[in-house]
Amino acid sequence: MATFKDFRNNVKPNWCPGCGDFSIQAAIQRAAANVGVIPEELAVVSGIGCSGRISGYINSYGLHGIHGRSLPIAQGVKMANRELTVIASGGDGDGFAIGMGHTIHAIRRNIDVTYIVMDNQIYGLTKGQTSPRSEMGFKTKSTPAGSIESSLSVMEMALTAGGSFVAQSFSSDLKELTSLIEQGINHKGFSLINVFSPCVTFNKVNTYDWFKENLTSLSTIEDYDPHNRMQAMNTLMEHDGLVTGLIYQNKEKPSYESLVTGFKDEALSSQDISLNQEQFDKL
């Protein structure tokens, strides 16, 4: 059985000291060990951005893709080899701007991939421009007078798109984050885990202290039921999206690959979907 150390390699991250991304890397390594996979059973696929480097820092199969395209690649990897545990990751610019078309369709498609967004509410690699997660009024090099666009409510969007596992965490809370990634990997479907990951170099507003002051843990909300989609939506709206924990899970929604016929006999029998063998043989 592997430990988190087995998921380390000898590549030294070149993130800025204090960047939230370090903790996310550690959480992925811990979660992978805790769910019982070994490095040869894990694939980490990333996009472009400071966050995109993560696939090179974990001892597993890894692919540093192109901007906004971690999800098409990750879904292809999973469909080609369903025995792999597949993690896709990238930043808020990567996933919620150029990659948004892929994100929303991956959510509704429900392929068994865990998508970890390292959300720093800014473009860090290109030295600090407004991202779709930046708040209105946020001043950057690209918006010197303050952003005139509102921030995207990604958790509400994921619920609306039919997300079967929607969670949010804070990079400082390694325990919760590790647990959510474990739950996401064990979930048989698409898991979206948005992680607030402070950019200490370029985002001087959404700092560690800001998140500590503004985030509400769902564990402190009495009777919160992560299987109640309406309550999840209401809670997000009441807290302006600034909650952490497992927001919503629907274990009943079948994964995409369990409905694709012709790959495995058990997939056919368990889903009661008839296969047109003649058609499939021609593929």
Vertex 20: Cα angle to 187 and 57 (nearest 5)? 70
Q: How far is the CB of 125 from ligand SF4 (least distance, A)?
A: 6
Q: Does 242 bind ligand SF4 (CB under 6 A)?
A: no
List, in order, residues 6 or more apart from 175 with CB less than 8 Å away.
none
Determine the size of the site formed for ligand SF4 (CB under 6 A): 12
Looking at beta carbons only, is 122 or 180 nearer to ligand SF4?
Answer: 122
DSSP H helices, 147-192, are: 154-160, 174-186
Cβ atoms of 114 and 87 closer than 8 Å: yes
Q: How far is the CB of 66 from ligand SF4 (least distance, A)?
A: 18
Q: Reduced to 3 DSSP states, what percent helix, strand and coil does the chain have, rounded to the nearest 5?
A: 40, 15, 45
Q: Which of the choices Mg ion, ligand SF4, none does residue 92 contact, using the CB cut-off of 5 to 8 A by kind?
A: Mg ion
Binding mask 176-205 for ligand SF4 (x = CB under 6 A): -----------------------xxxx---
- CA dist., res. 15 & res. 25, Å (int): 11
Q: Does 95 bind ligand SF4 (CB under 6 A)?
A: no
Looking at beta carbons only, is 94 or 257 nearer to ligand SF4?
Answer: 94
Smallest Cα–Cα separation from 99: which of 227, 20, 206, 192?
Answer: 192
Q: Does 52 bind Mg ion (CB under 5 A)?
A: no
Q: Does 26 bind ligand SF4 (CB under 6 A)?
A: no
- CA dist., res. 61 & res. 41, Å (int): 8
Q: How far is the CB of 129 from Mg ion (least distance, A)?
A: 9
Q: How far is the CB of 69 from Mg ion (least distance, A)?
A: 16
Q: How far is the CB of 1 from Mg ion (least distance, A)?
A: 35
Q: Does 52 bind ligand SF4 (CB under 6 A)?
A: no
Which of 72, 93, 99, 226 contacts Mg ion by CB under 5 A?
Answer: 93
Q: Which of the choices ligand SF4, Mg ion, none does residue 93 contact, using the CB cut-off of 5 to 8 A by kind?
A: Mg ion
Which parts of this chain interact with Mg ion (CB under 5 A)?
A: 91-93, 120
Which parts of this chain interact with ligand SF4 (CB under 6 A)?
A: 15-16, 19, 21, 50, 120, 124-125, 199-202
